[in-house]
Structure 1
Amino acid sequence: MSVHTTAGWARALTSALHQATGDARLHDEARRLLAAGQAGPLNVNQGFATSKFPLPDGRVARPRLLVTPLTASEWDRIEAAICARPDAADLAGTAAISDQLTDPSLTAGVPIAPDPQDISHTCTCTPDAASTACPHSVAVGMLLTERVRTAPAPLFTLRGRPHQHLKKRLRTNSPAPQPAGPTAPAARPLHDNTPGPAAPVPAQVTRALRPIPDPVTLDLTQVRLVLHASLPEPPEPLPGTEALRALAADAAHRAGACLDGQQLPDGHTPGGDIARFLSLPHGAAFRQAAMDHLDLDVVGMGHLQLAYTQGGPVGAAVYLEAFSVDHDTLAHAQASIQPLRPAPTATIVCEDNRVTDEAAGIQLRYGPDGRWYPYRAPYGVWQPVPGPSPDPAQAYRAARRSNQRIS
């Protein structure tokens, strides 16, 4: 059995970087910059990695190492090939992603490590270096190489799909459902009003038809309430009786809150509204159904409830989903928390709406309500902690306080 290591990722990336630049002097100058401790934190995003370096004239150079992301179909092929292996969890189920996956034959012929032609450079150090390699951009590549030597996940982000996506697929990987047999009737949507082909009416049915009877006068004074009576189960695909009763109770709860003048929380997303529903007495019985629907295990459901308790429906939505955020918002958050970081030169990873300081075990997630939600990972899994704030520095302080209490 082959031993799983991670150093091969750094070797593959180093080889590609050397071939892409082709100038040994640039690499020597980049090493001198790093040895002098002039590099800022490494920021890894989809398609580029960046950092910053001070310049002699007082300006700041902002280089970028650009890497062509893989397409969604290429990532789907890679993940399918990995998940099909019996040792998939060992190869890619943890942060120590095996460097065996640098072999394209294990990833459906699609290389995860970039080729030299996938790499380009930009930098603000001089106008004529805007689209060519310079010591600063080469130094960014070296920083990234050292990073992936022991933690290859940023390389997945750089190539277009975070490693977390593959981990989730490995957890939920199951055989595809078998297609229905040739005699199975095609399912039609519940509200599909498109007329289908007319079915022939048997002659015996035609003979049995009778005229519609005349309307009768109803005595509504003797109406018997049947709200709590035993009712037959609705036909598929309608929800069951228990679910319909819970939905009616939820509608009554919301209507009563409106009549009392209460401000109802906005669910923002279906996941956020599910968390709100589960927090109420009539929704508690559907916890397992919600876990199945949201693809959460017991720990994940506990974290979802924490997220709702600490941040309402928006907090739950932020826990469940990765929202798109512009780069300036992430850059502002990174600059705000930089003075607070215990290891200021360690790598910061930005992807989607998340700013992750892995050295401190802290992650901030930006929500659609404009607040930053703090997370920490004391046991290797990100979980929400109290203290969301519009100020990323305040949210970072809340996460640090939570870490201190846990430790």
Structure 2
Amino acid sequence: MYEAMDGDSDMYDEHGAEERTFAALPPAHGRGFAQTWWGQAWLKALEDTALELSQLKAGRRLARAGAVGAVSVRPGRITAVVVDRGVPHRSDVLLQPLGEEDWDRFLGMAVERAGHIAALLDRDMPPHLVEDAAAAGVELLPGIGDLEARCDCDAWDHCAHTAALSYQLARLLDQDPFVLLLLRGRAEGALLDELQMRSAARAEPVAAPPQEAEGVDAAEAYASALVLPPLPGPPALPAEPGLPPSLDTETPAPTGTDPAALEFLAARAAVAAHGLLAEALSDGHDRRAPRPELAMRQDSVRLAAAGPQPHIAARLARGSDRDAEGLALAVRAWEHGGAAALAVLEEEWTPDANAAARARAALDAAWDADERPVLKAARGRWTVSGADAQLRLGRDGRWWPYRKERGRWAPAGPAASDPASALATALGSGEE
């Protein structure tokens, strides 16, 4: 069971919902506010929602200076007092809690995957947990416009005070993803109790289903204009991908055939098929655009990321025109962000005038003048003067951290919407 962090206390509000209060965090000079991908997703929702970059910049300055007091988290709301130029401001950020039906779907999904529960207990939120929740119709992380600001300074949009509170909460989310689940409406203790009860109920023997009613002859149904029963629902998603047939037989393989490579490809095909079926069975699948087909160089990296045997990895490297080190770097990029991260590693592009202007504005807003690093720009890449660290701008406007290793630039982490957070990852100064 979880032990509260120093300065973290639990209580209940007047409605009986659990509330947690976190003591004020120390200043965060020269580092990013979120190191985990879910903390960065929280900041992206804030930065995509706010209308004024100047307010975000002022909020980062207040948060870095330690101006945010104790943070109270309860379903649907976070609250703190933010001191700005000696004046305290009561600030709130609201996020719509999940409904009972959403929680029922989330709990039903989680209880079928023990790995999700184990990850949460380890204070981790793996991407596939959020993806599986989304496939069940439950959006855990906020999106554009989901974070609503309230402050006694009477600002109509996110002000410096609510921005500072949001940046501070990203640091708390890094430490404990249960903070997000509480904000969405479920406290840790209640959530784990419900999962335990569902797990126990799922282990009980299930009664035999009733016998299906006999059908009717098709000609008779048509002649009498009977209304036929509805078609059965789609099949349930298997808990895990299927196992391909074993090729370990007494019959020798044909000349030039690599059974280990075939077994590896069959296993990866089963995993891919399971993922496609999960997408097809999810709500809203018919309204989503299909994924773009991977080119051979991209698909080789996807396969290599699954950890094949060394001789298979060597064949993937040769087939994609890479050396072993180049393939290893490509796999690292893929693990940080799939095809988009791979493109940032291997493609050079020059931002057009609009993209370059947005990049300059983001870099100017990311640091105060006395903290801004010296960056050398070249074709969408900004290298830190005097350090083996680099920022790369993706075509989607996100910033990717890179670090020089053994003379080659290597991916250092996932993308961030804030260049300061990405650079903190590249410099290695964001470690807890």
Bin of the TM-score, shorter chain as denominator length: 0.3 to 0.5
Larger % of strand: which? Answer: 2
- The structure number with the bigger radius of gyration is 1
> TM-score normalised to the size of structure 2?
0.37
> TM-score normalised to the size of structure 1?
0.39
